């Protein structure tokens, strides 16, 4: 059990690691092809993250990443896998969600993140990308 956990979870942020989130994505694409239900993928990264590390130090940068993962995970459905894609980049897989539902989620996340106190002397913002898997 401990080995499975350490092989699927990002040690810093405690969300899925890149390999795991890719597996979730592939599984959901296969499921969506069968069910024809919508599937949306949201990617986001922390704006100017390098300046957070350079100004406040890497331990503070790590804390921002941890808090970001917790905040986002707490704001999405349990059925929506969240993973750390790399560095300060994350991916959310949104089964049964179309572009309207994901757009509302993005606005809620953006507002929540920008109003959250990450313990640094600046507003932390993120940039989002969105993609929807559709039946061909």
Between CA 76 and CA 102 the distance in angstroms is 10
pLDDT of res. 3: 65
Q: In the prediction, which pLDDT does 2 show?
A: 72
Q: Is 114 a catalytic residue?
A: no
Give me the residues paired with residue 95 across strands.
39
Residues written for the chain: 136
The residue from 28, 88, 89, 114 that is catalytic is: 88
Q: What angle do CA 111, 112, 113 make, to 5 degrees?
A: 95
pTM of the model: 0.92
What pLDDT was estimated at residue 5? Answer: 65
| Each residue's pLDDT tens digit, 17-49 | 999 999 999 999 999 999 989 999 999 999 999
The pLDDT score that the predictor gives to residue 36 is 87
Q: Which CATH class is domain 2-133?
A: alpha beta
Half-sphere exposure of 100 (CA within 13 A, CB side): 0
pLDDT in tens, 51-104: 999 999 999 999 999 999 999 999 999 999 999 999 999 999 999 999 899 999
Q: What is d(CA 17, CA 15) in angstroms, rounded to the nearest whole number? A: 6
Exposure class string for 96-126: b at 16+ Cβ within 10 A, else e:
bbeeeebeebbeebeeebeeeebebeeebeb
Sorted by where each begins, the domain ranges of the chain are 2-133
pLDDT in tens, 110-132: 999 999 999 999 999 999 999 99
Confidence of residue 136 (pLDDT cuts 50, 70, 90): low
């Amino acid at each position: 059990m401990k080995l499975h956990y350490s092989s699927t979870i990002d040690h810093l942020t405690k969300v899925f690691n890149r390999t795991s989130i890719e597996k979730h994505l592939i599984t959901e694409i296969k499921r969506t092809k069968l069910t024809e239900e919508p599937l949306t993928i949201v990617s986001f990264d922390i704006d100017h993250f390098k300046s957070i590390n350079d100004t406040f130090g890497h331990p503070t940068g790590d804390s921002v990443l941890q808090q970001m993962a917790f905040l986002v995970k707490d704001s999405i459905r349990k059925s929506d896998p969240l993973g750390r894609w790399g560095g300060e980049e994350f991916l959310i897989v949104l089964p049964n969600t179309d572009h309207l539902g994901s757009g509302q989620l993005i606005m809620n996340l953006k507002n929540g993140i920008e109003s959250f106190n990450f313990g640094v002397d600046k507003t932390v913002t993120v940039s989002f990308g969105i993609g929807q898997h559709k039946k061909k």
